[in-house]
């Protein structure tokens, strides 16, 4: 089966700093894949490269067989390549419903504003924000803002969803709720890439894990393979610990 | 509701020449003209949240394109149309460049456009007459007839700008512009083609200014660079829109009306303090009325006032009891 989203030798340099170098991987239709790595590993940069926020220094991004390496963010959104932000980005003075209908009207298939609102209401009910549809977005709590962000991306009817730290700042029970929601989204046939630096969160939902360290992809495999990978342990816990772990193991 | 109010207001303004003299008609023309300019500014400054100070550039170019076309022998109506289209094209070309700037940078860039266009017009003497200005063919008829005609035309432009505002407000374009206003990066991410939307808003903010400028040139019969590209005009128009309520439908009309009447009052009574008063209005707006006159919650205000009064009364009563 061919990949719906494929990165080939993707690199990004900011001046002399190489933020992402030579990363290649593919996402298959309907998969949930986790992308992990320590702070500053280049995870968010990678998402920005895929959605056209940054231009590629080198390599190719192929989405549904089409080279989309030079797309703009709004084009990515219309193609069905949606993302959420690590730092939530609502339209603060609009209502929750208007926020989500923006996704439906501009990024999704909804023809007019009325159709967009209908689609938006459905997504709000899905993520559990139906009861606050007419509140201003700025009044929501952090977990609800994260849900709003999700609803907004879902209203765009994406085929691939990039979730950039949707769980950051949530407590344990809120994370459980968010993970349930992610599984439900996956049940709708959406391919999902979850970006996280919390191992625990990703391990519980991902079918496959990618590990980024200093901008390079150092591991790609099942969660079990990855947590036992020598280079991953080194990246997270340092070379000294990895050495001891190896002896003990 | 605001649509009905604007229609009634327009009719009232249109009736002024029937019942009042030339002075009142001239003020009505000013009100209609500034309403049209403030409504134009509202597209880019109100809906989109880009603080544009290019109004005078569009107005001045409209003056000159209209005047030059009329001097070339075209009828006034054709000259006005050419000015509208010309200024819109100018804004479209310029918008692609200047709309890359944001916030303060955009504001400064947009002021620079006024200065640059003014300098070009005043240096290009062979075509524009330079600092000597241009005479524009006068409209035929008695002063009363001409003034009434200009008033109707300015009201028509104001009406056109208002209709465009209502349409934009209810369409995808208006929704997208509001998204850009609130959070441009997020708007981009949900699929709003921000560059095209912003250029559309910029062009809308320009074309009515161009038309108003061309009609103004026909009305006054003489234009020069300092008058056409006035920095004061470029500041006054946003202040009017903010005074009424930026981003609302009728706010710019309310603001322009109130401002023109205030200005007229201060001109007549405090000639030397006129500019200082404009400054005070700006400061007052920033501190006390960030949302404009239409955004004040008048009911809450009344409630607060009456609550204060009853609180005062109960205070005095309890003090009296304590003394007793």
Q: Does B193 touch chain A (CB under 8 A)?
A: yes
At B320, is the pLDDT very low, low, confident or very high (cuts 50, 70, 90)? very low
- In angstroms, the separation between the Cα of residue A233 and the nearest Cα of chain B is 35
pLDDT for B285 equals 76
Mean pLDDT is lowest, of A38-42, B104-108, B268-272, for B268-272
Q: Of A147, A195, A163, A27, which is closest to residue A83 (Cα–Cα)?
A: A163
Higher pLDDT, B220 or A236: B220
Do B301 and B242 reside in the same domain of the chain?
no
Residue A14 forms part of a structural domain: no
Which residues on chain B are in Cβ contact (under 8 Å) with A152?
A: 190
pLDDT for B287 equals 79
Do B207 and B94 reside in the same domain of the chain?
yes
Mark yes or no for CB contact B187/A91 under 8 Å: yes
Residues B195-245: tens digit of each pLDDT: 999 999 999 999 999 999 999 999 999 999 988 999 889 989 999 999 888
Q: Does A113 touch chain B (CB under 8 A)?
A: yes
Is residue B48's pLDDT more than 80?
A: yes
How many other C-beta atoms are found inside a 10 Å radius of the C-beta of residue B319? Answer: 10
First to last CA, chain A: 36
Do A167 and A249 reside in the same domain of the chain?
yes
pLDDT for B21 equals 86
Give CA–CA dist A31/A183, Å, rounded.
Answer: 11
Bridge partners of B234, per DSSP, are none
Strand ranges across the sheet with A191-196: A81-84, A160-164, A191-196, A32-36, A208-213, A216-221
Is residue B179 within 8 A of residue A74, CB to CB? The reply is no
pLDDT for A246 equals 66
Q: Which domain covers residue B302, as residue numbers? A: 297-324
Q: What is the ipTM of this complex?
A: 0.86
Do A45 and A76 reside in the same domain of the chain?
yes
Mean per-residue pLDDT, B147-168: 95
Residues A187-205: tens digit of each pLDDT: 988 999 998 877 777 888 8
CB pairs under 8 A between A and B: 68
Is residue B317's pLDDT more than 70?
A: no
Q: Of B207, B225, B211, B227, which is closest to residue B95 (Cα–Cα)?
A: B207
Residue A174 forms part of a structural domain: yes
Give CA–CA dist B2/A211, Å, rounded.
Answer: 58
Do A101 and A70 reside in the same domain of the chain?
no
Do A223 and A237 reside in the same domain of the chain?
yes
Q: Does B295 touch chain A (CB under 8 A)?
A: no
Mean per-residue pLDDT, B301-323: 60
Mark yes or no for CB contact A83/B176 under 8 Å: no
Is residue B255's pLDDT more than 70?
A: yes
Mean per-residue pLDDT, B128-144: 86
pLDDT for B316 equals 53
How many other C-beta atoms are found inside a 10 Å radius of the C-beta of residue B280? Answer: 11
Mark yes or no for CB contact A94/B178 under 8 Å: yes
Residue A186 forms part of a structural domain: yes
Bridge partners of A193, per DSSP, are A33, A162
Q: Of A40, A41, A59, which is closest to residue A50 (Cα–Cα)?
A: A59
Q: Looking at residue A243, which CATH number applies to its domain?
A: 3.40.50.300
Do A147 and A213 reside in the same domain of the chain?
no
CA atoms within 13 A on the CB side of A84: 28
pLDDT for B321 equals 47
Do B74 and B127 reside in the same domain of the chain?
yes
Mean per-residue pLDDT, A227-231: 83
Most confident of A65-69, A70-74, A136-140, B36-40: B36-40
- The total number of residues written for chain A in this structure: 249
First to last CA, chain B: 54
Higher pLDDT, B316 or B270: B270
Do A141 and A197 reside in the same domain of the chain?
no
Q: Which domain covers residue A202, as residue numbers? A: 31-54+66-80+158-249
Mark yes or no for CB contact A85/B186 under 8 Å: yes
Is residue A168's pLDDT more than 90?
A: no
CA atoms within 13 A on the CB side of A91: 26
Do A151 and A162 reside in the same domain of the chain?
no
Is residue A167's pLDDT more than 80?
A: no
Q: Nearest 5°: phi and psi at A26?
A: -135, 150
Q: If phi over 0 gives left and psi between -120 and 50 gives alpha, with beta otherwise, what is residue B224?
A: beta
Mark yes or no for CB contact B182/A152 under 8 Å: no
Percent of chain B with pLDDT over 70: 93
Mean pLDDT is lowest, of A121-130, B31-40, B145-154, B300-309, for B300-309
Mean per-residue pLDDT, A111-140: 90
Do A171 and A205 reside in the same domain of the chain?
yes
At B323, is the pLDDT very low, low, confident or very high (cuts 50, 70, 90)? very low
Residue A6 forms part of a structural domain: no
pLDDT for A156 equals 92
pLDDT for B116 equals 95
Residue A235 forms part of a structural domain: yes
Is residue A106 within 8 A of residue B190, CB to CB? The reply is yes
Residue B177: closest C-alpha in chain A: A102
Residue A106: closest C-alpha in chain B: B191
Do B93 and B135 reside in the same domain of the chain?
yes
Mark yes or no for CB contact B175/A93 under 8 Å: no
Residues B179-191: tens digit of each pLDDT: 999 999 999 999 9
At B20, is the pLDDT very low, low, confident or very high (cuts 50, 70, 90)? confident
At A238, is the pLDDT very low, low, confident or very high (cuts 50, 70, 90)? confident
Give CA–CA dist A149/A87, Å, rounded.
Answer: 10
Give CA–CA dist A221/A210, Å, rounded.
Answer: 7
Is residue A112's pLDDT more than 90?
A: no
Three-state helix/strand/coil letters over chain A: CCEEEEEEEEEEEECCEEEEEEEEEEEECCCEEEEECCCCCCHHHHHHHHCCCCCCCEEEEEECCEECCCCCHHHHHHHCEEEECCCCCCCCCCEHHHHHHHHHHHHCCCCCHHHHHHHHHHHHHHHCCHHHCCCEHHHCCHHHHHHHHHHHHHHCCCCEEEEECCCCCCCHHHHHHHHHHHHHHHHCCCEEEEEECCHHHHHHHCCEEEEEECCEEEEEECHHHHHCCHHHHHHHHCHHHHHHHHHHC
Residue A198 forms part of a structural domain: yes
Is residue B36 within 8 A of residue B158, CB to CB? The reply is yes
Give CA–CA dist A52/A55, Å, rounded.
Answer: 6
Mark yes or no for CB contact A51/B189 under 8 Å: yes
Of A89, A106, A108, nearest to B185 by CB-CB distance is A89
Q: Does B173 touch chain A (CB under 8 A)?
A: no
Residue ending a domain, choose from A157, A173, A197? A157
Is residue B322's pLDDT more than 80?
A: no
User: How many domains is chain B partitioned into structurally?
Assistant: 2
Do B322 and B183 reside in the same domain of the chain?
no
Is residue B74 within 8 A of residue B197, CB to CB? The reply is no
Do A110 and A148 reside in the same domain of the chain?
yes
| Token digits of residue B189 | 């991410």
Percent of chain A with pLDDT over 70: 97
Is residue B201 within 8 A of residue B47, CB to CB? The reply is yes
At B310, is the pLDDT very low, low, confident or very high (cuts 50, 70, 90)? low
User: How many domains is chain A partitioned into structurally?
Assistant: 2
Do A220 and A106 reside in the same domain of the chain?
no
Mark yes or no for CB contact A73/B193 under 8 Å: no
Higher pLDDT, A244 or B107: B107
Mean pLDDT is lowest, of A56-65, A159-168, B64-73, for A159-168
Do A181 and A126 reside in the same domain of the chain?
no
Mean per-residue pLDDT, A166-178: 82
Residues B77-104: tens digit of each pLDDT: 999 999 999 999 999 999 989 999 988 8
pLDDT for B280 equals 85
**Average pLDDT for chain B:** 88
Q: Are strands A160-164 and A191-196 parallel, antiparallel or unpaired?
A: parallel
Do A179 and A120 reside in the same domain of the chain?
no
pLDDT for B130 equals 84
Is residue B54 within 8 A of residue B114, CB to CB? The reply is yes
Do B93 and B216 reside in the same domain of the chain?
yes
């Amino acid at each position: 089966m061919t990949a719906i989203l494929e990165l080939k030798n993707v690199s990004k340099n900011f001046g002399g700093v190489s933020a992402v170098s030579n990363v290649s991987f593919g996402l298959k239709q309907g998969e949930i894949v986790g992308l992990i790595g320590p702070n500053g590993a280049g995870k968010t940069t990678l998402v920005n490269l895929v959605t056209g926020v940054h231009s590629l220094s080198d390599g190719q991004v192929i989405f549904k067989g089409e080279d989309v390496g030079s797309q703009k963010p709004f084009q990515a959104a219309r193609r069905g390549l949606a993302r959420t932000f690590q730092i939530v980005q609502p339209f603060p003075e609009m209502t929750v419903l208007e926020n989500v209908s923006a996704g439906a009207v501009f990024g999704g298939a909804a023809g007019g504003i009325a159709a967009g609102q209908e689609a938006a209401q459905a997504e709000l009910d899905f993520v559990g924000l139906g009861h606050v549809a007419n509140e201003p977005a700025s009044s929501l709590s952090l977990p609800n803002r994260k849900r709003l962000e999700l609803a907004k991306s879902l209203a765009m009817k994406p085929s691939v969803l990039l979730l950039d730290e949707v769980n950051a700042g949530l407590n344990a029970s809120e994370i459980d709720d968010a993970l349930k929601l992610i599984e439900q989204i996956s049940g709708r046939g959406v391919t999902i890439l979850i970006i996280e630096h919390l191992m625990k969160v990703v391990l519980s939902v991902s079918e496959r894990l990618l590990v980024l360290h200093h901008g390079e992809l150092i591991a790609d495999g099942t969660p079990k393979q990855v947590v036992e990978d020598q280079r991953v342990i080194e990246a997270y816990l340092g070379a000294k610990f990895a050495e001891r772990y190896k002896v003990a193991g | 509701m605001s649509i009905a109010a604007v229609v009634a207001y327009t009719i009232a303004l249109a009736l002024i020449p029937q019942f009042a003299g030339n002075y009142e008609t001239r003020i009505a023309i000013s009100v209609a003209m500034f309403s049209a300019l403030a409504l134009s500014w509202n597209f880019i400054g109100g809906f989109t949240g880009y603080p544009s100070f290019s109004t005078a550039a569009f107005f001045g170019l409209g003056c000159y394109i209209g005047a030059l076309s009329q001097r070339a022998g075209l009828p006034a109506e054709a000259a006005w149309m050419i000015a509208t289209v010309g200024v819109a094209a100018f804004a479209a070309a310029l918008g692609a460049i200047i709309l890359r700037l944001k916030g303060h940078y955009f504001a400064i860039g947009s002021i620079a456009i006024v200065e640059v266009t003014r300098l070009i017009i005043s240096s290009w003497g062979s075509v524009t007459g330079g600092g000597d200005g241009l005479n524009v063919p006068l409209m035929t008829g008695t002063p009363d007839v001409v003034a009434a005609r200009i008033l109707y035309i300015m009201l028509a432009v104001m009406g056109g700008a208002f209709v465009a505002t209502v349409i934009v407000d209810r369409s995808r374009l208006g929704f997208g512009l509001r998204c850009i206003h609130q959070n441009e990066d997020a708007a981009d991410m949900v699929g709003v083609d921000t560059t095209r939307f912003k250029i559309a808003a910029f062009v809308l903010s320009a074309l009515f200014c161009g038309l108003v400028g061309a009609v103004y040139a026909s009305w006054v019969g003489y234009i020069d660079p300092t008058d056409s590209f006035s920095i004061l005009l470029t500041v006054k128009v946003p202040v009017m829109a903010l005074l009424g309520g930026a981003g609302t439908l009728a706010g710019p009309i309310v603001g322009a009306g109130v401002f023109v009447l205030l200005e007229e009052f201060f001109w007549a009574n405090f000639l030397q303090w006129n500019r200082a008063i404009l400054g005070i209005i700006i400061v007052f707006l920033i501190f006390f009325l960030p949302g404009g006159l239409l955004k004040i919650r008048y009911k809450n205000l009344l409630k607060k006032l009456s609550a204060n009064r009853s609180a005062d009364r109960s205070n005095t009563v309890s003090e009296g009891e304590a003394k007793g």
